[in-house]
């Protein structure tokens, strides 16, 4: 019997915590914690395809480009996406390979620098929704808006630093490197792909691809990746154990096992914010409707328990 294919979409907290500065040491530590969990999941007999966010890293790199523009030419947002894909991919394959070796599990790990086709007519270019870079207080966010021209939105209501810069986040249409990724999966390689949602590109009339100034949401790209590899299960890892309705309110309620219809109802009622749980739930809903199989949302440290049905939010047909 073939091993089931599991696509894992890792949230930004798997690489950089909100309270951290984002040093190389901090990020490697967080990735190592993540690698331990992935090594345990590998023991369960899945073929693994992993994708990850890059919002904090792409946002930080973008600041570096802007602040040093008088010294060296600033690179585009698409290039920042490619650079952070390589950075995070290296960190992840480095630590995952080590943790697998430590467990005497000899499975190769490979990062594929991935391009993802988007449409320049996507409405998100008119109303950006993708948070990047550090968290700000409302006052800091407004100051950056007025002085630097940032587009800012509140992404964590009620939090002291609940505001972030946002950039366009168009829908992913096609994974360019799908053939390479599938070839690696077929040969039992743990694949890290579509990092940061993939490098957003447009398809030109001559068949070439050009970078687009955006950051694709990694959960939506994760669903597109799950389609690409015909995944049997989709696991979305974030900073909470479950999705909630009435989040951060006195009557908040964790969701355990819900149908697609229930998930769509809660989404329509506005329970899942676009800057946080919204794209995760949308991606989960899309996967279940497309595959007729289960999607799970949970925290990194509960991943294995969630796969065993002990916790997490399970979205089912």
Domain boundaries, the chain: 5-118+173-316, 129-167
User: CB–CB of 168/124 below 8 Å?
Assistant: yes
Phi and psi angles of residue 109, each rounded to the nearest 5 degrees, phi first = -125, 135
User: CB–CB of 106/98 below 8 Å?
Assistant: no
Architecture in CATH of 5-118+173-316: 3-Layer(aba) Sandwich (3.40)
Phi and psi angles of residue 209, each rounded to the nearest 5 degrees, phi first = -125, 140
Q: Provide the residue-wise pLDDT of the chain in tens; the chain has 317 residues.
A: 589 999 999 987 789 887 888 999 999 999 999 999 999 999 888 999 999 998 889 888 988 998 998 899 999 999 999 999 999 999 999 999 999 999 888 899 999 999 999 999 999 999 998 888 888 999 999 999 999 999 999 988 888 999 999 999 999 999 999 999 999 999 999 999 999 999 999 999 999 999 999 999 999 999 999 999 999 999 999 989 999 999 888 999 999 999 999 999 999 999 998 768 999 999 999 999 999 999 999 999 999 999 999 999 999 99
- What pTM was computed for the model? 0.91
Residues identified as active-site: 12-13, 130, 218, 280
User: CB–CB of 144/165 below 8 Å?
Assistant: yes
């Amino acid at each position: 019997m073939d091993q089931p294919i599991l696509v894992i979409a890792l949230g930004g907290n798997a690489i950089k915590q909100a309270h951290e500065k984002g040093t190389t040491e901090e990020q490697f530590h967080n990735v190592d914690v993540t690698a331990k969990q992935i090594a345990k999941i590998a023991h369960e007999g899945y073929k693994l395809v992993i994708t990850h966010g890059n919002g904090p890293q792409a946002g930080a790199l973008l600041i570096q480009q802007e602040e040093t523009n008088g010294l060296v030419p600033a690179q585009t947002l698409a290039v920042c996406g490619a650079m952070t894909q390589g950075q995070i991919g290296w960190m992840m394959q480095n630590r995952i390979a080590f943790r697998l070796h430590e467990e005497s599990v000899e499975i190769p790990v490979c990062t594929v620098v991935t391009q993802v086709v988007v449409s320049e007519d996507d409405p998100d270019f008119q109303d950006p929704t993708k948070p990047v870079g550090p968290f700000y207080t409302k006052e800091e966010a407004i100051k950056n808006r007025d002085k630097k021209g940032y587009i800012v939105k509140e992404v964590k209501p009620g939090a002291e630093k609940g505001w972030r810069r946002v950039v366009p986040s168009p829908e992913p249409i096609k994974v360019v490197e799908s053939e390479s990724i599938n070839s690696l999966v077929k040969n039992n390689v743990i694949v890290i792909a579509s990092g940061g949602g993939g490098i957003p590109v447009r398809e030109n009339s001559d068949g070439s691809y050009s970078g687009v100034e955006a950051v694709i949401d990694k959960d939506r790209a994760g669903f597109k990746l799950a389609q690409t590899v015909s995944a049997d299960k989709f696991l979305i890892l974030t900073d909470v154990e479950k999705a909630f309705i009435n989040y951060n309110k006195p009557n908040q309620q964790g969701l355990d096992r819900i149908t697609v219809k229930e998930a769509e109802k809660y989404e329509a009622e506005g329970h899942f914010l676009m800057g946080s749980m919204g794209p995760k739930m949308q991606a989960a809903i899309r996967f279940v409707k497309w595959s007729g199989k289960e999607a799970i949302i949970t925290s990194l440290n509960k991943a294995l328990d969630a796969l065993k049905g002990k916790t997490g939010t399970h979205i089912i047909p």
